[in-house]
């Protein structure tokens, strides 16, 4: 029986975030170069996007390239950037047909010029779509995001636009690049690693974490359904007790 049949469609998370990990190990296990794993990983992205769309999930954020990834070998970075351009161009028609809006977060201007142009083009073309918002985290680091937000607030204080005592959690959140995007209820990480790797550190404060041994290129639609079922079996308390949660529901 598919995990999909066990999913409660009335309790679907609004936002799911994914750390796609294991492309290199998948390739190495099969005697391929690392870039072959990234290419196969695109198929897993497609499957996951389709599954999320079917379930009515509103936001799906995937960690595609971190600021730390710039330290990888040049040939791998070049291949990843070329793959980004090819994938965005290839999927543009699919985005339109399935009412998918493409967004991106991160230090996007650090991307190669061609990758940056093609990404902005796809974002603009899909901006009116009202279905799933697919968010690519590119040249992204959560610490970078928080520091940038802090700099904006510091500049406002210096300019006399706000006072230091006006700085609050809401004020900081309002300057982040993820402003307007709800926090993820569920964070998925593949490949058996148990860490969050500088990804959405502020936003996942109360997210449910799901770890799987599956390497990203092998992450299927069924694997995604399984993660959703696991999420739905948990009690989200946000610092409250179980008794308080039950009382609120009643």
Per-residue HEC secondary structure of 161-213 comes to CCCHHHCCHHHHHCCCCCCCCCCCCEEEECCCCCCCCCCCCCCCCCCEEEECC
Selecting among 8, 21, 89, 129, the annotated active-site residue is 21
Selecting among 69, 98, 129, 198, the annotated active-site residue is 69
Helix (H) or strand (E) holding 60: strand 59-66
CA distance 200 to 63: 9
Verify whether residue 69 is a known catalytic residue: yes
Using alpha carbons, list the distances in angstroms from residue 161 to 114, 153, 166, 168. Answer: 37, 9, 10, 15
Verify whether residue 8 is a known catalytic residue: no
Q: Which residues are catalytic?
A: 21, 69
């Amino acid at each position: 029986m598919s995990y999909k049949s066990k999913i409660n469609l009335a309790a679907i998370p609004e936002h799911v975030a994914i750390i796609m990990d294991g492309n290199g190990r998948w390739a190495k296990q099969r005697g391929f170069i690392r870039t072959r794993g990234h290419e196969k990983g695109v198929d897993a992205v497609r499957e996951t996007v389709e599954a999320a769309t079917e379930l009515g999930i509103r936001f799906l954020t995937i960690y595609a390239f971190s600021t730390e990834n710039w330290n990888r070998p040049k040939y791998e970075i070049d291949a990843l950037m070329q793959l980004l351009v090819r994938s965005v161009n290839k999927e543009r028609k699919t985005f339109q047909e399935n009412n998918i809006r493409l967004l991106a977060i991160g230090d996007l201007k650090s991307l190669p010029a061609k990758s940056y142009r093609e990404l902005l083009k796809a974002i603009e073309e899909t901006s009116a779509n009202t279905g799933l918002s697919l968010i690519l985290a590119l040249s992204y680091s959560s610490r970078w995001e928080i520091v940038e937000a802090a700099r904006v607030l510091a500049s406002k204080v210096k300019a006399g636009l706000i006072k230091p005592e006006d700085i609050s959690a809401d004020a900081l959140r309002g300057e982040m690049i993820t402003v307007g995007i709800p926090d993820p209820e569920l964070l998925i990480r593949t490949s058996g690693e148990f860490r969050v790797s500088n990804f959405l550190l502020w936003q996942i404060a109360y997210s449910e974490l799901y770890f799987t041994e599956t390497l990203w290129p092998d992450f299927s639609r069924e694997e995604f359904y399984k993660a959703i079922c696991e999420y739905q079996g948990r009690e989200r308390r946000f610092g409250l007790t179980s008794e308080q949660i039950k009382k609120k529901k009643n």
